[in-house]
Each structure stands twice: as structure tokens, then as C-alpha cells.
Structure 1
Amino acid sequence: MPPRQRPVGTITRGTTNPNRLRRCDRWIAGPQGWRLRRSPTPPVVVDLGYGASPVTAVELHERLRPVRADVQVVGIEIDPERVAAGRALEHEGLTFRLGGFEVPLDDGARPTVVRAFNVLRQYAEHEVPAAWQRVQERLAPDGLLVDGTCDEIGRRSAWVAVEATGPVSLTISLRLRGLERPSDVAERLPKALIHRNVPGEPVHAFLTDLDRAWARSAAQASWGARQRFLAAAADVARSWPLLDGPSRWRVGELTVAWPAVAPASPAAPVPAAAP
């Protein structure tokens, strides 16, 4: 028997809360639901680095079952104690195992979706491409890696969708009630973009234009924040390649093609310490 592979990655802080990832789950079950339905075998969806509580994996299974009743959700954690806590909640269609970015699954199974939320946030920006590639190599045909970040209770979320060929989109999802400006999501951008929200970078230009559209749509606020966001998104769609429409904008969600917001230059690696 070959030696057991050591999990690839670094243990996260583990902070999590019920419903924290509901916005991303809604997107996976909605616009991305075709990936699950198209799978010729029961699709495998991985909750990678789910944290100190297995609640997000449990919720993910509950939210995807209406899309594909035979979906198999696997919670993967690098911390054995967290895996043990998850296994106490296992049932048909939901399992937990030890692992990391190598995404270990039984019988060489390949995941249809890997959701990695608040995992790469603690890594350096230049480490992100290698982590993405590690997961990309494991994806099923039509598979997707979702690399995202959100606040503690899921009011502001952002994620990059990464297919086997590379990143394809950035999605931001906001709780519209009480929203001051859309760029408030900037502090929750995924690691690949969070340090790029500066003048001269495409993602900064995108958020700036979205804020300006939000300001121009202020008159719509008398009809509610939803109508104001719909108007702002329609405004931005005139100059940015949005990949969704009003049905998603209504819930505070907006997806833009990755090439339009990708970093203007590669991340600089951290210099090695002097000997």
C-alpha cells in the first residue's frame, strides 16, 4: 500500500457561521446548476476547508439536493479534529475526510464543483495560481473551482469561478438593505484581487464605475434598494461585460467576465530571506 499523502495546504483559522455561504450556494444551485444536472454520474461537490464547524457542508448538501437528488457533498479539512466533528453528522450524500488542495476522493472520483471559501485569504497572492492549478487538475469535465471570501455573516461575498482552463468570472453578492455603496465589498475580494483594488488596476476601475452608477441611480432608492441596484447594474452593463442579468441583480448579485477585471500584472513573489 502506498504511503498516505500529507494534505496539501495550511490550516485555516476556522471561523464559520450558519448561513454564511448562502449567497454562493444560491449561485451554485442557480446559474451553475447545469453542471450538476449534466453529470452522467452522481455529481461530487467538495466543501474545501470548511472550518471549525461542518455546518457549511451540511447546508450545501441541503441546498443542492433540489437540483440533483443524488449529489454527493464531501467536506474536506486539513485538521483531523474538524474532520472528526464532521463525521458525526454524516448521512446519505454527505461525508467528510482529511485532505487539502489535492482533493482526495474515493476511486479517483473527480469533483464537479469545489467550493473553497475563506481558505486562500490567508495565503500570499503569488501562491494562489499554484493552489488553483492543484484543484483544476482534479476537476471533472465541466468542473468548477469557486474561490471566494465573505464577511462573518455572509452579507458581503465575492468569488472567482475557475474552470479547468482558467478563471472565467468574478461575482460579487451583497445584502442590499443598508448598503452604502457597492465597493464596500472590496475588503472581501478573493486573494487574487484584494490587493489590486488600487488606481490603475481593472478591478478598481470596475468597482469605481459601479459606485458611480449606484450614485446616479439614487433616485430609484424611493422604490427600494433592489430597484436602485437593478438600475446601477444595467448602467454598468453598458461598459462592462456582465455575464448575468436582472434575475441575479435582483438578489444583489453581479458577475463580470474575468478578463475585464484580472490583475494588470502578475503578483510579485515574496523575496527570500537573506542567508
Structure 2
Amino acid sequence: MARGPVGQITRGTTGTNRLRRVDRWIARHPALRRSTDPLVIDLGYGASGVTALELYARLVRARPDVEVLGLEIDPGRVARARTQLAAVRAGETTFPADARVSFARGGFEVPVPDGRRPAVIRAFNVLRQYDEPEVAGAWTAMASRLAPGGLLVEGTCDEIGRIATWVALGTDAAPRTLTVSLRLAGLQHPSVAAERLPKALIHRNVPGQRVHAFLSALDAEWDRAAAVAPFGPVHRWRTALAALVDGGWPVLERSRWRLGEATVPWEAVAPW
């Protein structure tokens, strides 16, 4: 008997422009830029196929030959996304009619035709409804489908995409980094990201855990940087992150700090 898709149907709360932060991060990643076959999976895209179409529109600027395959467990959602794609093909939307986007039924087993292996798998707002012990198995299943040098991005964001966090993993399913990405205008405290941490960390934001120490330190430096707030929230954010580095936190990707991002090695926030 053929085995069906692996996983649970997501809540499906898809939102237009919701995943812009992680999409732009993926667009500059070497896993996409250096791939010999730039196939990208939007796994668990939800009630609308718009996130896969937006993903393509953002990535094609970096890789003109990129392809995006949206996978969903619910066959009704696949049918709906294909209807949306037909409108794209007919020139009835703002997306290019020839966008290399397709939709199919699938889950953590990541079914791809012709034995192809994706360069990138993006699984966003998928694992929130799972129990923490189930995360490692889902990571392993997805990562095993990647091409050599491939990237798995698993994370969570709020409904309008102003708060996002994600874990980057390689083909061995070992987490490499955690990224926090925030809309800086109007930001009160960076620890607002705590409520949108990936499932592997969201229950670990308690005293004694590394991720709690990181967010607490980030809050403290953000408060100290209030003196430079008149120069704008980006300057304040960069000042706070520079102070974190001076304090011993290994904040990476300095060139992306201006975007409201802070990326740290997984070891800096990994659960005890």
C-alpha cells in the first residue's frame, strides 16, 4: 500500500507578504546561489499558494533559473493553489505568467519528481503545532531530501511578518544558526521574538536556558542604546548588536544587521 504524505495539516493561516524576511535571507544564501539545480520547496504553504509565488518572485532576482515547488498535505489546498497558478498563467495577477512554480501533495517526506533533490527547503509556521520531541524527526526527514550543500530553513513568524525567527540546518539535520528578524520601527523590546521562536526553542525561554540569556542580553543592550534612538531605529539596533558582540555574544552576518536581523550560532542558544 502506498504511503501518504508524512505530517499534519497546518492551520493554514497564510498571509500575503508574511514571509518576506526569511525569503530575502534565503535569496542571499550560498545554498541557493551556488546550487547546480536551484529547486526550492515551500513546505506546508497553507490555505493559499501565494507564499510560493512570492518566494519565487524574490529568489528569481538572485537566481533567474530558480524553481519553486509548493507542497501541502491537504489535497484541497493543492487544488486551490493550482487554481491560483492558472490565474497567474493567464496574466491575471502581478506575478510573471511564466513563473517556474508548481504545486503538489506532500509532507516531510518531500516528494520531488525525477529524483531531484532541492537546494533549499523552507518550512515556516509548520512545526508550531507539533510537540517538541517531534521536531528532530521532522528535521531529519526533511534534511535527508536535500541536495549536497543544501539548506533547510525552519521557523515561525507573526501574522503580518513583522516578527520572525528561523533555524538553518544542513543535510545532516544539525542546526547551524538561529536568526531573529524584527521590524525595528516601533519596536519596544527585541524579546517580543520569544513568542515566535521555533518549536525547538519556544519552551526553553526560561531562566537558565541559553536562548533566554540571549534575548535578555539583547533587551538590555537595546535599552542601553536608547541614547542613540534619535538617529533612528536601525542605528539603535546596530549599536545594540555591536555591544552584544563586545560582551562576548557571537552575532554573525553584520551586513544584515541594518535589516533588523541578528544571527547567532546554534551553540549560543541551544537547549541544555
- Deviation per CA, 1:119-154: give whole Å up to 9, x if none: 000000010000000011111111111111000000
Residue 199 of structure 2 corresponds to residue 191 of structure 1: yes
Query: Where does residue 142 of structure 2 map in the other structure?
Result: 135
**Structure 1 segments of 4+ aligned residues over 3 angstroms from their partners:** none
Ranges in structure 2 where 5+ consecutive residues have no aligned partner: 87-97
Residue 178 of structure 2 corresponds to residue 170 of structure 1: yes
Cα pair 2:68 2:102 within 8 Å, conserved: yes
Partners of 1:243 and 1:118 lie apart in 2 by 24
Query: Where does residue 272 of structure 1 map in the other structure?
Result: none
Residue 62 of structure 2 corresponds to residue 28 of structure 1: no
Query: Where does residue 244 of structure 1 map in the other structure?
Result: 253
Query: Where does residue 231 of structure 2 map in the other structure?
Result: 223
Tell me, what secondary structure is at the counterpart of 1:206? helix
| Pairs within 5 Å for 1:1-275 | 3-30=1-28, 32=29, 34-41=30-37, 43-88=38-83, 89=85, 91-165=98-172, 166-238=174-246, 239-245=248-254, 247-264=255-272
Query: Where does residue 89 of structure 2 map in the other structure?
Result: none
The CA deviation at 1:222 is 0.8
Tell me, what secondary structure is at the counterpart of 2:149? coil
Partners of 1:169 and 1:136 lie apart in 2 by 15
TM-score by length of 1: 0.92
Partners of 2:227 and 2:121 lie apart in 1 by 40
- Deviation per CA, 1:142-188: give whole Å up to 9, x if none: 11111110000000000000111310000000000110010011000
Number of aligned residue pairs: 258
The CA deviation at 1:5 is 2.6
Query: Where does residue 269 of structure 1 map in the other structure?
Result: none
Output the amino acid matched with 2:232. G
Partners of 2:35 and 2:178 lie apart in 1 by 24
TM-score by length of 2: 0.93
Ranges in structure 1 where 5+ consecutive residues have no aligned partner: 265-275
Q: Percent identity?
A: 60
Query: Alpha carbon RMSD of aligned pairs, Å?
Result: 1.0
Query: Where does residue 267 of structure 1 map in the other structure?
Result: none
Partners of 1:209 and 1:76 lie apart in 2 by 38
Partners of 2:136 and 2:118 lie apart in 1 by 19
Tell me, what secondary structure is at the counterpart of 1:148? strand
- Deviation per CA, 1:58-111: give whole Å up to 9, x if none: 000000111111111000000001101112206541000000000000011111
